[in-house]
Amino acid sequence: MQYKIYPPEKLKTTIELPASKSISNRVLILNALSLNTNPVENLSDCEDTQVIIDAFNSDSNVFDVKGAGTAMRFLTAFLAGMDGEWIVQGSKRMHERPIYPLVDTLKAIGADIEYLKNEGCPPLKIRGKRLQGGEVYVSGSVSSQFISALMMVAPTMENGLIINIRDEIISKPYISLTAKLMEEYGIHLKWEGNRIKIKPQSYKPVSFKVESDWSAASYWYEMVALCPDAEITLLGLKENSYQGDANLVSLFKDLGVSTEFVSNGVVIRKAGKPIKKFFHNFIYEPDLAQTFAATCCFLHVPFIFSGVQSLRIKETDRIEALKTELKKLGFVLRETDSEMLEWDGERCFVEENAVMDTYDDHRMAMSLSSAAILFKSLTMNDPHVVSKSYPNFWDDLRKAGFRIEEV
């Protein structure tokens, strides 16, 4: 399926953002560990959250997490400590995404996990049993989700868990998010430097309301940056958010978007000119890199991004995908080394009748959609991929005045 997207003359609207998928997916695991029966308010309706709900409601011992990295990693650690024999599988891409740092660590404390296809990647067969815990070493440079997964199950282990994080810690705010949510569920943990100590203890069931998703908000910031006349209210965002991607407020200031925090969210507006060149290390906000690559190109602001190495092992190789799709629109991006992505302002011919590919990656679709504002229209393949984190994205664009035709 293809969409042809036409922008409105001006943007003035109020958008009910989806709930944070990172918080929703942690809360589901924490609820299961605390035997919590209180309903969660505002749980995300996205596919990545639904696959965890489906796993918990299933009578089968075979779970399909589709493309959800958090679901794959969190359920692996959860099921490793649950009596029974389990199979966790996912999409074709999920079966290429690494999970060995987590599996190796779980095996080191007695877990029984087998690779069913490719060594180091899902699908997995897990023969669950109560884990003793102890002291483990895990790499922090592949995915923070391994550390979050271990942290959440640590209090249920007989001896608790001391997690020593080796190498560079990427996506650190997501580890902080896990720690803060565990604290809300009554857990005490000690995190000093590269060491997280969690004693055996019981989770307390609590009522929880999930805040809106800052990563999803980034696409609306991008639209405001590109639209000559724009004011958008985004509901449900918190100023003192647990989400690291809230850092986009200060990053978008440099690209001419102001943020006013109001009681029920934020109002974002066009405010001044963008800076001449944009520099940022995305190691702590990998999910924002595509938004900023697209925004900078469409604003004609050259950029140097560092810390983008983890983008290669996400829903797709996001570096390759960005280079390919932005080139179709006339922007020549380069990797100066494996951790850097740069656009020095080099242009090429805009491909005639360019059609954007989305690579089974919600963030490719959402970050590129704003090109419709610059080019007056945009055609995109497989737009439904947004359901991974933001199922109502296209409906919200329609609400904001975009015309979207199915072609």
Ligand X SMILES: C=C(OP(=O)(O)O)C(=O)O
How near is the Cβ of 379 to ligand X at its closest, in Å? Answer: 23
Annotated catalytic residue 287: yes
Query: Exactly one of 19, 163, 170, 187 binds ligand S3P (CB under 6 A); which one?
Result: 170
Q: Which does 68 bind (CB under 5 to 8 A by kind): ligand X, ligand S3P, none?
A: ligand X
Query: Exactly one of 218, 259, 389, 392 binds ligand X (CB under 6 A); which one?
Result: 389
Specify the residue, 52 or 234, whose C-beta has the smaller distance to ligand S3P. 52
Answer whether 48's CB lies under 8 Å from 21's CB: yes
Specify the residue, 65 or 163, whose C-beta has the smaller distance to ligand X. 65
Residue 352's identity, in one-letter code, is E
Q: Of residues 63-92, which lie at the interface with ligand S3P (CB under 6 A)? A: 70
Specify the residue, 169 or 275, whose C-beta has the smaller distance to ligand S3P. 169
Query: Exactly one of 17, 32, 68, 226 binds ligand X (CB under 6 A); which one?
Result: 68
Query: Exactly one of 287, 325, 361, 396 binds ligand S3P (CB under 6 A); which one?
Result: 287
Does 148 help bind ligand S3P (rule: CB under 6 A)? yes
Quick note: the x/- pattern for ligand S3P over 301-330, rule CB under 6 A, is ---------x--------------------
Residue 179's identity, in one-letter code, is A
Query: Exactly one of 36, 156, 171, 392 binds ligand S3P (CB under 6 A); which one?
Result: 171
Quick note: the x/- pattern for ligand X over 301-340, rule CB under 6 A, is -------------xx-------------------------
Under rule CB under 6 A, how many of the chain's residues touch ligand X?
A: 9
Specify the residue, 20 or 34, whose C-beta has the smaller distance to ligand S3P. 20
The stretch among 6-14, 66-74, 133-141, 379-387 that binds ligand X (CB under 6 A) is: 66-74
Pick the catalytic residue from 48, 287, 360, 361: 287
CB atoms within 10 A of CB 391: 18
Q: Can you tell me the distance from the alpha carbon of 148 to that of 72, in angstroms, rounded to the nearest whole number?
A: 12
CB atoms within 10 A of CB 157: 20
CB atoms within 10 A of CB 6: 14
Answer whether 402's CB lies under 8 Å from 7's CB: yes
Specify the residue, 18 or 81, whose C-beta has the smaller distance to ligand X. 18
Best CA proximity match to 361, nearest among 333, 330, 324, 335: 324
Q: Of residues 239-298, which lie at the interface with ligand X (CB under 6 A)? A: 287
Does 8 help bind ligand X (rule: CB under 6 A)? no
Specify the residue, 310 or 316, whose C-beta has the smaller distance to ligand S3P. 310
How near is the Cβ of 74 to ligand S3P at its closest, in Å? Answer: 8
Q: Can you tell me the distance from the alpha carbon of 238 to that of 301, in angstroms, rounded to the nearest whole number?
A: 29
| Sign of the Cα pseudo-torsion (100, 101, 104, 109, in order) | negative
The stretch among 53-61, 140-148, 254-262, 380-388 that binds ligand S3P (CB under 6 A) is: 140-148
Q: Of residues 363-382, which lie at the interface with ligand X (CB under 6 A)? A: 363
**Pair of tokens at residue 161:** 């868990």
Beta pairing partners, 232: 13, 268
Answer whether 398's CB lies under 8 Å from 13's CB: no
Does 145 help bind ligand S3P (rule: CB under 6 A)? yes
The stretch among 101-109, 143-151, 319-327, 353-361 that binds ligand S3P (CB under 6 A) is: 143-151
Q: Which does 363 bind (CB under 5 to 8 A by kind): ligand X, ligand S3P, none?
A: ligand X
Answer whether 111's CB lies under 8 Å from 147's CB: no
Under rule CB under 6 A, how many of the chain's residues touch ligand S3P?
A: 12
Q: Cite the active site residues.
A: 287
In the complex, which residues of this chain contact ligand S3P (CB under 6 A)?
22, 70, 143-145, 148, 170-171, 174, 286-287, 310
In the complex, which residues of this chain contact ligand X (CB under 6 A)?
67-70, 287, 314-315, 363, 389
